[in-house]
Structure 1
Amino acid sequence: MTAKRRGLTEQAADTAIEGACKALRLPTIRSQFEEIATDAAKTQMTYRGFLAELLLAECDDRARRRSERRIKAAAFPRQKSIREFDFDANPNIDAAVIHTLAKCEWVRKGLPLCLIGDSGTGKSHLLIALGTEAAMAGFRVKYVLATKLVNELVEAADEKQLTKTIARYGRVDLLCIDELGYMELDKQGAELMFQVLTEREEKNSVAIASNESFGGWTKTFTDPRLCTAIVDRLTFGGNIIETGTDSFRLAQTRARNERKDAG
């Protein structure tokens, strides 16, 4: 069946486009139509080419907005990217390995990632940057401090909401746990953390950043058997990135101060 030709004037056509875009929820076509139409006329684009440009613009913008929503839902404390990371300042970190991880195949396979090193060596930067890459690739991501996660689990247990809370953390494709190893957990806190990791085991990825080597995790998880089980869940089949012991953040601060003094 041939579509009815309405014989609209230019002004009427613009009004119709505006109304149709509102009704069909096509905000990008609505905002960019005039610009794309002008370019199409200048380049003598075919009708099919013009239609393709309009639809692709809408699709691209929707993909961008979805990425922004996923990044916002992840609740990262600040923006960090792989591009901004100074690999020259920390030779312990292999840029090729990080760029491979940024492709998110490990998230697709549900594998873990551990970033181990002292403060100022780039652990949190890489954790947030790789989590952001996963969100942009279409995965559901959640960032949380280890202390906040444990406190939330303890409160959920007290309020008889533990199953619901663990299930919520279990649903995301990548759970990023930062600052693991900065505190000692009591038996309840350690067991609750273990439940979250067990819920995700071999299904969805966990990425952690810790200032303690695995041998020092007994300070956080004081039960040796539970500590061993947690280490096993966070390392089996996964990637371990050791960021070293020299704080390049401190080194950069000292260098800036030296330049100020010299000036």
Structure 2
Amino acid sequence: MTVPRQREITEEAATTAIDQACRMLRLPTIRSQFPDLAAAASREQMSYRGFLAELLMSECDDRARRRSERRIKAAAFPRDKSLRAFDFDANPNVDPAAIHTLAKCEWVRKGQPLCLIGDSGTGKSHLLIALGTEAAMKGHRVRYTPATKLVNELVEAADEKQLTKTIARYGRVDLLCIDELGYMELDRRGAELLFQVLTEREEKNSVAIASNESFGGWTKTFTDPRLCAAIVDRLTFGGNIIQTGTESYRLAHTKAQADRAEVG
């Protein structure tokens, strides 16, 4: 018995069919990269299986990249900061090995806290955002907020009887980054509401904070001593503490630029 020979499909028809199939299957990366990958496969005499692997991996890699971008956007960082851009030489107080260990995000997986303590201009906010970005890139849900903004949101939520929902929303993210803690005094109500958020996350999900005050100076922010002690306990128990020092390398950098300009 003779098996009827299938009609050969033209290159143009094949390209059209691939394009339509990618649209239906929602494979945008394969759709856009197929011509170049097909040409490369032909030049390199790649096997069918190898070519298929290249196509699928390109789609997977691009989807992972887009997911990371969405998580970073959802974190609401105020600006882009990376560990690569951090000048460790300018701030010898910060141990590069310790920071790169934190960048692996094992502490986030374990729900441990992180405290970055140092004066203005020492890089603590840079590190907070950079480590938060690393966590988002590794698949964790991250949220960034200045401390005063968070407290104001909690007060408004309480007034509108939406506090439980708001605290639950902040409780769900894997890593909550609270910046600028210690810059302003919080009244008792605001401090208590912040304490509720920290309690919701305790030993479940991580909190990372950046503060310009050492723990001994937190009584300026949290005026109730017992509440202050409880908050310090929540943010330090089983966690990591990074001291960024007291000398502003940002100010030193600005002065150095000014000195070079005068010499020039």
Same fold (TM over 0.5): yes
Query: In the alignment, is residue 50 of structure 1 matched against residue 51 of structure 2?
Result: yes
2:40 alignment partner in structure 1: 39
1:91 alignment partner in structure 2: 92
Q: Distance in 1 between matches of 2:39 and 2:117?
A: 54
Query: In the alignment, is residue 106 of structure 1 matched against residue 107 of structure 2?
Result: yes
| 3-state DSSP of counterpart to 2:213 | coil
1:191 alignment partner in structure 2: 192
1:219 alignment partner in structure 2: 220
- 1:118 and 1:16, CA in 2 relative to 1: closer, same or farther beyond 3 A? same
**Letter aligned with residue 90 of structure 1:** N
1:190 shift after superposition: 0.3
Q: Distance in 1 between matches of 2:22 and 2:92?
A: 52
Q: Which of structure 1's runs of 4+ aligned residues deviate more than 2 A?
A: none
2:254 alignment partner in structure 1: 253
1:62-85 CA-partner distances (Å, limit 9, x unpaired) = 000000000000000000000100
**Letter aligned with residue 209 of structure 2:** I
Matches within 5 A, 1:230-245: 230-245=231-246
Q: Distance in 2 between matches of 1:157 and 1:190?
A: 13
**Letter aligned with residue 140 of structure 2:** F
1:185 shift after superposition: 0.6
1:6 shift after superposition: 6.5
1:19 shift after superposition: 0.3
1:184-236 CA-partner distances (Å, limit 9, x unpaired) = 11110000000000000000000000000000000101111100000000000
Identity of aligned residues (%): 82
1:101 shift after superposition: 0.2
1:8 shift after superposition: 1.6
- 1:10 and 1:149, CA in 2 relative to 1: closer, same or farther beyond 3 A? same
**Letter aligned with residue 25 of structure 1:** R
Alignment coverage as a number of residue pairs: 260
Gaps of 5+ in 2: 1-5
2:3 alignment partner in structure 1: none
Matches within 5 A, 1:10-29: 10-29=11-30
**Letter aligned with residue 59 of structure 2:** E
Q: Distance in 2 between matches of 1:129 and 1:179?
A: 15
**Letter aligned with residue 202 of structure 1:** E
**Letter aligned with residue 95 of structure 2:** D
Q: Distance in 2 between matches of 1:185 and 1:46?
A: 66
**Letter aligned with residue 244 of structure 2:** T
Normalized against structure 2, the TM-score is what?
A: 0.97
Q: Distance in 2 between matches of 1:43 and 1:242?
A: 53
| 3-state DSSP of counterpart to 1:132 | helix
1:162 alignment partner in structure 2: 163
1:9 shift after superposition: 1.1
1:154 shift after superposition: 0.1
Q: Distance in 2 between matches of 1:7 and 1:72?
A: 47
Normalized against structure 1, the TM-score is what?
A: 0.98
Backbone CA RMSD of aligned residues: 1.0
Q: Distance in 1 between matches of 2:262 and 2:12?
A: 66
Q: Distance in 1 between matches of 2:12 and 2:170?
A: 53
1:96-143 CA-partner distances (Å, limit 9, x unpaired) = 000000000000000000000000000000000000000000000000
